[in-house]
Every structure is written in C-alpha cells, then in structure tokens.
Amino acid sequence: MGILQKNQQHNMNEKLLSIAEQFAIEGKIASINALGEGFINDTYVVETEGDAPNYILQRKNKNIFPDVPAMMDNIDRVTAHIRAKVEAEGGDTKREVMTINHTHDGKFYHVDEEGEYWAVCEFIADTVAYDSANSEALARMGGMGIGKFQSQLADFTEPLAEVIKGFHNIRWRFQQWDEVIAKDPVGRVAELKEEISWIESRREKMLDFWKMVEEGVLPMRVTHNDTKLSNILFDEKGDVLCVIDLDTCMSSTSLNDVGDALRSYTNTGAEDDQDLSRVSMDINMFEGYIKGYLSERKASMTQSEIDWLAFSGIYITYEQVLRFLMDYIDGDNYYKVRYDGHNLVRTHAQYKLLTSMEEQYERMQQIVAEAAK
C-alpha cells in the first residue's frame, strides 16, 4: 500500500471514528471495519474493548431514502413495539429485537459535514444467517421469520411514514406505466405488443386486489419490504431471533411481504434467466414458506388475508414484470443493466414465473387452506 493510500485510509478511519463517537455507545472503540462486499462499503462493524457490545455503523443512502429522519422514526417505533412484546414474554431484548442507538443529543441519526446520514445499532453476536433459501427447510425458516415479525406487530396500528413512494401500490405503478407508454421515449413500444398485452390483460384483476387494500378489506399492517432470508437472524439451534434491516418498514398489506418472498424463494431459475425452461415456481418451496409463515402468523390474520395469501405471489411477481418492462420501454434508467436488452430478458423470465404460479394457483390455495387450519 502506497503512502497516499495509507493516508486516505487513516483519514477515513479518523472520520468514521469521529462519526461513531457521536453516538451513545458503551466501551472504548478498538476498530472500525467495512462489513460485506458492496460496491460502496457503507456498513461497518465497530468493535469495542472489553465486555462492551460491538455495533453496526451505517451510512443511509439518501438518494433512495429522501427522508432519513422519518425512516429512523419508523424503525424506532417498530423496534420499541417488538421490544415490549419480547420483554412481556420474558425473552432476551438484546437478541430478539434490534437495538437502535441514539446520538448524545437524543437523535437516532447523525448528519456529517457532507450532509450524509449515519445510524448505529447493536451488533447481535452468535447468530446464524443464510444467504438464500436453497431447500424447503430454509424456506420454512424464512416464512417463520417474517411470520413472527408480523405477528409481533399485528396490533401496531399507528401509520408509518412512506419512505419509498408508491411501493407495491399497483395503482401508482399503472400511472407511471401509462405515462411511459404514452411517451415511448426510445421507440420500443411498437416491437412489444405481446409483452404489453401481458400487462394490460391482467390490469383489472390487479387493481381489484389493490382496491381491497385501499378499502381496508385487507388491513394495513407493518410491512418489512425486504424479506430476503439474509435479513433474518437465527440462533444456533435454528430458532428465529429477529428480523434486521428495517429501513423499508412501512404501512401496507402484510401480503406484500409474503408475495415478495414467494417471488424469490420459489423461482427455480434466475431472475434474469435467458433459458426460460429453467424458470418455474417450485411448489415444494411454496409449501415450505407458507407452512412456516402460518405457523407463526395465522392466529393474528383476518380471513381475507388468508384467502388472498396465495395470490400475493402472483401480485408481486406481476408488479415486477411490469417494472422491468416499463424500465425497458423507458430506456433502462432504473435497474442496472449488464447488456442491451437485459430488462427485456428479466421481463420474460419473470413472466414465465408468473404464468407458472397462475397454472399452479389452485394447488397453492389448497396448501394455504390446509396450513391455516
């Protein structure tokens, strides 16, 4: 490492130390190291000396989350609610819920000299996490994790701030879609008659579903909105400890979380698979997830939520087909593409998954009905 690189690293460490010290944390800071291999390392482990806990320091992406204070307020309220539940049940509040640390002046975030937002939470030691669900058993564990999270929050009735506008709101997506189709900015609409018909032929059905959310037939709940398996921590026995990464927590139908998980867990191929013969919905993974989810959640669900549970996978997968196709028509501005036509490949792969779900919908409903008994 050259002198310049060493100086840059030293300056970065000094800067991170100064940011971490804005927060009320126990112990003397021994080191701060990047966590994970993201393109931009904005998550760090803060190690302390002695018996004090370690911490996670994170720079919040204000391009994605324009109102970080509102987001942190959501997280504070959600974790406080779960903590009260864990405490009432005699559980471990240091391990079964995230602990958010405030700054010395009582805020849950710090703004640095460059206007970047930072937050700190306690690091939960001796946990097990999985990158992805590659077995029915792991799908079941993922379902239990989100089911437990939603069950703990089933009586949380205050509205949360909308940190990402229109997330999973198909009415909002159709507004965007209609505008992009009308503009046709890069002249792709003419060659996409078939793909556009996939969206239009299901429009009314998807709006009917969303109308039930708007009218309260499907009640507003706390939704996590990033239900990947790696966001669930387990103990060494395989029991669910807690759900982490709460940045996208909002108020919506809890079915969004289930649908999002089913879209990723059950796909036998890749999200952008060029070989469509590899893409389908694995009914065994569906069954594993649903059984795990309902084992934790069914007692706090309404009948309408149970009735529409299987459809949630179809709804979220449809939304993703629409979003990939819309971005392709718009000139590939939202999703990162690795090659020309990447978004169209994604559209076709997700559509194949959607049709596989539609073909197996009756069996999906049977599985839900059996697991909900």
pLDDT tens by residue, 205-220: 999 999 999 999 999 9
Q: Which of 122, 145, 167 is the last residue of a domain?
A: 122
On whether residue 130 sits in a domain, the answer given is: no
On whether residue 154 sits in a domain, the answer given is: yes
Asked if the model's pLDDT at residue 269 lies above 60, the reply is: yes
Asked if the model's pLDDT at residue 306 lies above 80, the reply is: yes
Q: Which of 122, 148, 163 is the last residue of a domain?
A: 122
Identify whether residues 222 and 354 lie together within a single domain: yes
Buried b (16+ CB within 10 A) or exposed e, 94-108: ebbbbbbbbbeeeeb
**Tokens 């709101």 appear where?**
169
On whether residue 167 sits in a domain, the answer given is: yes
Domain limits for position 42: 3-122
Contact assessment for residue 271 and residue 349, using Cβ atoms and an 8 Å cutoff: yes
pLDDT at 4: 42
- For the chain, the domain total comes to 2
Task: Please give the backbone phi and psi of residue 247, each rounded to the nearest 5 degrees, phi first.
Answer: -55, -35
pLDDT in tens, 49-65: 999 999 999 999 888 89
**Tokens 């002249």 appear where?**
187
pLDDT at 41: 52
Asked if the model's pLDDT at residue 90 lies above 50, the reply is: yes
Q: Which residue has the higher pLDDT, 36 or 154?
A: 154
- What is the radius of gyration, based on Cα positions, of the chain? 22
**Which secondary structure element, helix H or strand E, spans residue 255, and what is its range?**
helix 255-265
Between 120-124, 161-165, 287-291, 324-328, the lowest mean confidence (pLDDT) is in 161-165
Q: How many CB atoms lie within 10 A of CB 203?
A: 14
Q: How many CB atoms lie within 10 A of CB 87?
A: 13
Identify whether residues 36 and 154 lie together within a single domain: no
pLDDT at 62: 87
SS3 105: coil
Residue 131 — pLDDT band, cuts 50, 70, 90? confident
Identify whether residues 364 and 262 lie together within a single domain: yes
Say what the pTM is.
0.92
Q: How far apart are CA 250 and CA 242, in angstroms?
A: 17
> For the domain that residue 50 is a member of, what is the CATH number?
3.30.200.20
Asked if the model's pLDDT at residue 5 lies above 70, the reply is: no
Q: Average pLDDT of the chain? A: 94
Identify whether residues 85 and 202 lie together within a single domain: no
Torsion, Cα of 324, 330, 335, 340 (10° steps): 90
Residue 167: which residues within 8 A CB-CB, separation 6 or more?
225, 248, 250, 252, 256
Asked if the model's pLDDT at residue 12 lies above 70, the reply is: no
Identify whether residues 292 and 333 lie together within a single domain: yes
Asked if the model's pLDDT at residue 3 lies above 70, the reply is: no
pLDDT at 11: 57
Identify whether residues 109 and 214 lie together within a single domain: no
Q: Residue 92's closest CA among 127, 119, 58?
A: 127
pLDDT at 39: 45
On whether residue 129 sits in a domain, the answer given is: no
Identify whether residues 47 and 191 lie together within a single domain: no
On whether residue 68 sits in a domain, the answer given is: yes
Contact assessment for residue 127 and residue 94, using Cβ atoms and an 8 Å cutoff: no
pLDDT in tens, 323-354: 999 999 999 999 999 999 999 999 999 999 99
Asked if the model's pLDDT at residue 128 lies above 50, the reply is: yes
Ordered DSSP codes for 187-246: S-GGGGHHHHHHHHTTHHHHHHHHHHHHTTSS--EEE-S---GGGEEE-TTS-EEEE---
> For the domain that residue 186 is a member of, what is the CATH number?
3.90.1200.10
pLDDT at 373: 93
Identify whether residues 105 and 166 lie together within a single domain: no
Asked if the model's pLDDT at residue 10 lies above 70, the reply is: no
Asked if the model's pLDDT at residue 132 lies above 90, the reply is: no
Calculate the alpha carbon distances from 359 to 110, 332, 363 in Å. 50, 30, 9
On whether residue 127 sits in a domain, the answer given is: no
On whether residue 128 sits in a domain, the answer given is: no
Q: Is 134 left (phi over 0), alpha (psi -120 to 50) or beta?
A: alpha
Q: Which of 96, 122, 148 is the last residue of a domain?
A: 122
Asked if the model's pLDDT at residue 40 lies above 50, the reply is: no
SS3 323: helix
Identify whether residues 279 and 361 lie together within a single domain: yes
Beta bridge partners of 55: 46, 122
On whether residue 91 sits in a domain, the answer given is: yes
Identify whether residues 247 and 367 lie together within a single domain: yes
Identify whether residues 14 and 148 lie together within a single domain: no
Identify whether residues 290 and 141 lie together within a single domain: yes
